[in-house]
Structure 1
Amino acid sequence: MTRHTTSRRMILGVTGSAFLAAACSPSSNDAKTAGAKSSPSKSAPESIEGKAAAGKVPGGAPDGALGVNFNEDPAGLGAAQLQALSATWVRGFVPVTPGDLDGDVTQQRAVKALLTAHGDGRKTILSLKFPYSLGPTKGPLPAPGSAELKDLLALVDRVLAAVLGKVDILTIGNEPFLETLPAERNKTLNVFYEALARHVIEYRGQHGGAGSGTSLYMGALNNLDDQAGRTPATERWLRFVNKTPEIAGVDIHPHVTSLQNAAKYINYVVPTLRPDQKFLATEFSLVQFWKGHMHDPVSPAFAKRYNVDPGRQVWQVVGDAIQQPFPQEKWNDFVSMTQWFNSSRNYLTEQMKAFRDTGKLAVATYGGLQIESMASDWDGEKTPWILNPLYANRTVRRGEGGTLGRNVWFEQFRALQKAG
């Protein structure tokens, strides 16, 4: 992988400025769909909370922070593991579905983990996930004014009541363009998420406004390195973020094959942000790069050192480590002797430099643990999320005193905490 550094000058160049002009201008489609609510005219609600509070985060917005992400599964990521990483920020998501929010919302595992981290003095990010493309809630998005939307907003209110003022950042959406049926990844999606955002803004306005201590972002956008992922709906998404004073910025999830492709996300999004806005990267990785090498033969040097069949493929060796975790030294050798893996060992440092060089990064969060879903049903076609995290807790056996195995990014993460 070729090292690539993104400069602020490149990002905010002529191409980006041209896109900003287009992305932030109203379109006839928006006007037809959203009416005055999405128009910058005086008939639009300039700010539900009041113009003075627009985009502000108490104490100032975070600037280039790096935290840990656990997605939906915080199991095993406790105070000791966060302390070992010197982590000050923690992020997770909660599915806003009846089954996931039965009973006391504060006891839902992701919410509970973030509230615990908050109690320990850490900063927290919670993403609201609306999974309409799979699982028991698979189906069309609730229509405006429908009973289904009313029920959903009641669930949203239960989450807000539990976390407002206790999470530093709330992201409205997780991966909307992946968690919506393909046929609705158009203005239907925009109308739904804009209604959610207005509801959350209104709720926050009634419970402390920006002074509650919780800032609001919209997210997260995927596949922006592919022209097919840049649609009228993504452009409308960014216009809405730009034109809504209470929204502090946008979230992105650059899971890519290279740093160059991650830069395409930055170049697309950053020029659309207002001067007072920033972006999050609550998930990012080279998982698509790893995926392209799963059927490569194992490194001859590794095969020789550990008496492994040289015809064995990488995914099979990873599977061996899942079935019987390697000693730390063996995992380190697997990384260092696998040329494509070793060539990317500085990925976290280089990616964070590119994010921070924009001057617009609020917080990025990187995968903490190899969670159960990464290891289950392992085969040669499964996306290798298991290679990403900071802890190699499912592919490396515990060390003395029960310490978790570590991946190649562990010490970089600690160093980047000091740099940030």
Structure 2
Amino acid sequence: MFRLILFTVIILSSASLQAQRLETQLGANYNHDPDLIENELLARAGVRWVRVTPRFFRYMNGELDPATDEGLEHIIRASNAGYKVVFGFRFDFHQNERIPIPNSQREREMFDVIGSVIARIGEHIDIFTLGNEPNLETVGADMVFQESHGGIPLVVFTQRLLDEVVEPFYDRRPSFRRPEIYGGSIPAIFQTSTQNNDAVRGLLQMANDDDRIAGFDLHFHIESFDEVDAGFEFARSIMPEKPFLITEFSLHRLYRSKIEEPLNATEAGTDFANTYGYDPTWKSYQWYTVVNSQRVTPDEFKAFFDSREWYPQNYLDLYREKFNQYGVFLATYPILQQSAPQVLNPTSPLWFINPVYMQVSLELEEDGSLAANPLCVDDYLEWASYRLPLGEVFEEIHDTIRLYPNPTAGLLQIDRGRLKGKVEITIHSLEGKELQVNEFSTDEIRLDLSDLRNGVYQLTLKSGQEVYSKKVFIDSK
């Protein structure tokens, strides 16, 4: 069995996933609120990936201290518990200031703050995204060519973030596993105005041309699934081969387009209103106000959407099919409500409809735990349970040093690459308890971890003065 594993290995790189035909993985998105991350809820959801994008200017303006920020501590705890982390900043320039001129004092100040955040959590980042919806967070003048910047300011800033901060940080720390870098994250890529944006095109071109960038992050908040096809097709016209990351997706535009629809727009809607005691002429936003101010049962929440002719049942499955079709490496979906206004009107945002667990809108379970969103929880849990097949992937520790399979059922192979001489490998629990110490002088290194329970462990590899570390997942199911 183990020999078969060795002969069927494929190098793990998100760039090779299309050729492998592996499915899109699903993780949990916490957006700008890492302080909401709780490992217990992540375990309930069955995910392995967590995505966060804290607001940069909260650090820049001194509201948060990178050295003590509790949100960053939550990221570290999740990583130490074995969850993989997608991290990037929300650079909300449009609310604060223009993008600084290259090599200016202001740029150096910003890069110093970015560096201090990365110094706190750098060893816990598995994927680093170079922005979050920058075309919405940047003033128009910074998305066209400016002589002062020698290019499009947003594109120049993003390139320099990679060149002057991210890459040098990991160059100075060879024992850290270097995260994969993704460009983005661009929303509404299906809209003509987005496609005609010089900065958006420039960021996609940068991701396509720079070998250090693994792929590109897109956001799909849609009204129609035709928009998913249109968005991917445009992105593929500029970046034809590299994989996509989708850190945000929802039906938010569809929900918003129907916010003024009356309950009695359909016969089923009239039955819904009569069953639950509402005025049938109420607009949808009036019922949403009840949902967020008084809580409703999961059955009532589902009954409302079942009464809407436009609502696509099992929409997560529809997204999953599209993402597999277009070579998406990983998608993340909101796991907890972060915006749930109690009084709604025709212009209100409706993000509260999306999350898997609803601490504001739904009545608690009998045991006091959060109720799950009946619109998506079953499909979410099934999708989140998908894992890359054991024995079919490599994971790089550093350069040519690789271990596989990871997750493993118990047997682990390590390619020592350029390392010469004796290699010492130590296995620790996440609490720091030493569980195994092995020395190898052979070219092939095989570890038997079958005596360890399922879970996450820390592997440390030492060769002379070089030390490398990697988390190992054991899953013998």
Say yes or no: TM over 0.5: yes
Alignment-derived partner of residue 253 in structure 1: 219
Percent identical among aligned pairs is: 23
2:335 maps to which residue?
A: 368
For 1:53-68, list aligned pairs within 5 A: 64-68=24-28
User: Retained in 2: the 8 A contact 1:128–1:170?
Assistant: no
1:194-213 deviation line (CA, Å, top 9, x unaligned): 2112122232222229x624
Counterpart of 2:28, as a letter, is V
SS in 2 for 1:170: strand
| CA 58–184 in structure 1, closer or farther in 2 if over 3 Å, else same | closer
1:193 maps to 158
Task: Please tell me whether residue 333 in structure 1 is matched to residue 300 in structure 2.
Answer: no
Distance (Å, rounded) in 2 between the aligned partners of 1:149 and 1:364: 32
Q: Aligned runs of 1:233-312 on 2, under 5 Å?
A: 233-273=199-239, 275=241, 277-298=242-263, 299-312=269-282
What is the deviation of 1:90? 0.9
The residue number in structure 1 matching 2:314 is 346
Stretch of structure 1 that moved more, 144-153 or 388-397: 388-397
Judge conservation of contact 2:34–2:75 (CA < 8 Å) in 1.
no
Deviation at 1:333, TM superposition (A): 1.6
Larger Rg, first or second structure (1 or 2): 2
Alignment of 1:10-409 (within 5 A): 64-74=24-34, 76-97=36-57, 98=59, 104-105=65-66, 107-134=68-95, 138-186=96-144, 187-199=152-164, 200-208=166-174, 212-230=177-195, 231-273=197-239, 275=241, 277-298=242-263, 299-341=269-311, 344-358=312-326, 360-371=327-338, 373-375=339-341, 378-407=344-373, 408-409=375-376
Shift of 1:154: 0.1
Q: Is the 8 A contact 1:176 1:221 kept in 2?
A: yes
CA distances 1:114-136 after superposition (whole Å, capped 9, x unpaired): 221111111111121111112xx
Q: Structure 1-normalised TM-score? A: 0.79
Q: Give 1:80 deviation, angstroms.
A: 2.2
Measure, in 2, the Cα distance between the counterparts of 1:247 and 1:205: 15
Distance 1:106 1:263 in 2: 43
What is the one-letter code of the residue matched to 1:123?
K
- Structure with more relative contact order (C-alpha pairs < 8 Å, separation 6 or more): 1
Indicate yes or no: 2:380 matched with 1:413.
Answer: yes
How many residues end up aligned between the 2 structures? 357
CA distance in 2, matches of 1:59, 1:226: 26
Tell me by how many angstroms 1:191 deviates: 1.5
Partner Cα distance (1:217, 1:324) in 2: 41
Q: What is the DSSP-based 3-state SS (H/G/I as helix, E as strand, rest coil) of the residue aligned with 2:367?
A: helix
Indicate if the aligned counterparts of 2:14 and 2:329 stay in contact, CA closer than 8 A.
no
C-alpha distance 130-59 of structure 1, shift in aligned 2 (>3 A)? closer
Say whether the 8 Å CA contact 1:280–1:361 is kept in structure 2: yes
TM-score by length of 2: 0.70
State the Cα deviation string for residues 244-299 of structure 1 (Å, max 9, x = none): 12111111111111111012221122354475x32110001110000000000012
- Structure-1 separation of matches of 2:227 and 2:191: 9
Higher helix share: 1
Tell me the CA shift for residue 332 of structure 1. Answer: 2.2
Change (3 A) 1:133 1:374: farther
Partner of 2:440: none
Question: Contact (CA 8 Å) 1:201, 1:246: kept in 2 or not?
Answer: no
Unaligned residue ranges in structure 1 (runs of 5+): 1-54
Shift of 1:67: 0.5
SS at match of 1:220: strand
Q: Supply the distance in 2 between the matched residues of 1:374 and 1:249 (Cα, whole angstroms).
A: 33
Quick check: 1:91–1:114 contact (8 Å CA) kept in 2? no
* Alpha carbons of structure 1 residues 376 and 175: separation in structure 2 relative to 1, 3 Å: farther
3-state DSSP class of the match of 1:339? coil
Distance of aligned partners of 1:361 and 1:106 in 2 relative to their CA distance in 1, 3 Å threshold: farther
Two-structure CA RMSD over aligned residues (Å): 2.4
Aligned 8 A contact 2:15 2:214 in 1: no
**Change over 3 Å in CA distance of 1:76–1:404 after alignment to 2:** farther
